[in-house]
Amino acid sequence: MELVRQARAHVARLDLSAAQAAVLDGQAHTARALWNLLHEYFTFRQGRFATLKDCDAAIRTARREIDWMGRLPAQAAQAVLKTYRQAWANFFNPGHPAGRPTFKGRLRTRLAVDVPQARDLQIKRVNRRWGAVNLPKAGRARFRWTKDLPGVTRGGPAGRITGARLVKDAHGRQVVFRTEALVAPAPAVHSGHPVGIDRGVIVALALSDGTMREHGPWLGNGEKEHLRRLEKKSARQRRTRPRGQPASHRLARTYDQIARLRATAKRRAVDWQHQTTTELAGTFSVVVVEDLKITNMVRSATGTVGNPGVNVAQKAGLNRSIAGEAWGRTVTLLEYKTSDRGGHVVKVPARGTSQTCHQCGHRDPAARDGIRYVCVNPACGWVGHADTNAAINIKNAAGTVVSGRGDLGTARSAKRQPPRAA
């Protein structure tokens, strides 16, 4: 059987000294500054965009004339240029949801440095728990060994490491290895059945077969109380800070503690999503979901001075709940996991799925009351869980459109709205 190449990423925790962490912080800030310089050079020329050749020449000149540019390895600088050019390509692609590239702020940008060439890494396993890797200009560092990497360990999976990315978050630094493994091709036909999935806030995932996939709160009661106290503390510290002055060291420590708690919640959410989507991808052949415009759904209800919004606080709470469920990430994980197993994901329009009875097709907004659905059609009268009803409608709508009146229309694919023209 001929093997196929499968590109994946593997994240591992780095164990760095204080000097190594300072070196990588400097490289990451330099990469961010280089992105901003490229953006200014690329967009603010005399009526035309700069070419790739112009940008490459500008980077080489800057590395010779600006001392602190030398902190960033040359290959990493070229990776910044490649990523920047790809950002513009995504923006001009009508089928891609990416927005226009912008400047990167110092405080809101995730610090990251690329290592595009795998030969510079020199990966080696040290013992059962740790491996070692070369970091450009930072030296040899240990990383947590949690799984065998393709082409590294004897007897491990076949393949190779194609590069890495060094990323910093609230819990420290991680190395993200780009792997290319040789695996058996996916089966031509998945043996499972199709399923419709309704994503919600009260019930995380409701399936058309009547089952549900739920989770508890991402933070415990003690952690929630700790987070609440830290947020109140940061508010007090901000009030005492003179306007225009940078944050104090105490306020910065408070921000770091808040960020660590929120990062913990996100890690638990991602772990649950990975386990749940793996189980769904292995069980069902076709997963049908709604093509939701999540960005539009989480817009603020504040309104304007002339036309103020209503129920602003309630809408803000709903927006936080939707963002906490990360519906888009769930679909992204399902897409590649079902593809690996011979299945696929189908997106259908969302209009009418939660207000239409799956038994008789009658649509009435009053039929849904919270999580309970009661069909108001006297000839039907179906009663059940509203999310299960929506999931069945989603499954039945594969290849069709649920119209505004609740009946099934002709087949039509759901297309993304193209981004704004440059």
Residues 6+ apart with CB under 8 A from 373: 357, 367, 382, 383, 384, 385, 386, 389
Return the domain boundaries, the chain: 4-19+113-183, 193-347
Q: Which two tokens stand for residue 211?
A: 């089952």
Instruction: Write the pLDDT tens digit of every residue in 93-120.
Output: 988 888 899 999 988 889 999 999 888 8
Worst-scoring range by mean pLDDT, 39-43, 130-134, 250-254?
39-43
Average pLDDT over residues 116-140: 92
Average pLDDT, the chain: 87
What is the number of H-type helices and E-type strands within the chain? 9, 15
Which sign does the torsion angle of CA 39, 43, 49, 53 carry?
negative
pLDDT at 409: 36
Instruction: Write the pLDDT tens digit of every residue in 261-285.
Output: 999 999 999 999 999 999 999 999 9
pLDDT at 47: 61
Distance CA 191, CA 285 (A): 7
Pairing between strand 284-290 and 212-213?
A: unpaired
CA distances in angstroms from 8 to 52, 150, 159, 297, 309, listed in the order given: 28, 10, 11, 31, 45
Residue 413: pLDDT over 60: no
Q: Which two tokens stand for residue 254?
A: 């408070």
Worst-scoring range by mean pLDDT, 122-126, 197-201, 248-252, 406-410?
406-410
pLDDT cut 90: percent of the chain above it: 54
Distance CA 185, CA 183 (A): 6
Phi-psi region at 6: left, alpha or beta (left = phi > 0; alpha = psi -120 to 50): beta
Distance CA 298, CA 321 (A): 10
Distance CA 308, CA 239 (A): 27
Instruction: Write the pLDDT tens digit of every residue in 163-191.
Output: 999 999 999 999 999 999 888 887 778 88
CB-CB contact of 395 with 208 (8 Å): yes
pLDDT at 18: 94
What is the pLDDT confidence band of residue 399, given thresholds at 50, 70 and 90? Answer: low
Distance CA 9, CA 183 (A): 15
Instruction: Write the pLDDT tens digit of every residue in 332-369.
Output: 999 999 998 889 999 998 888 888 998 888 888 888 88
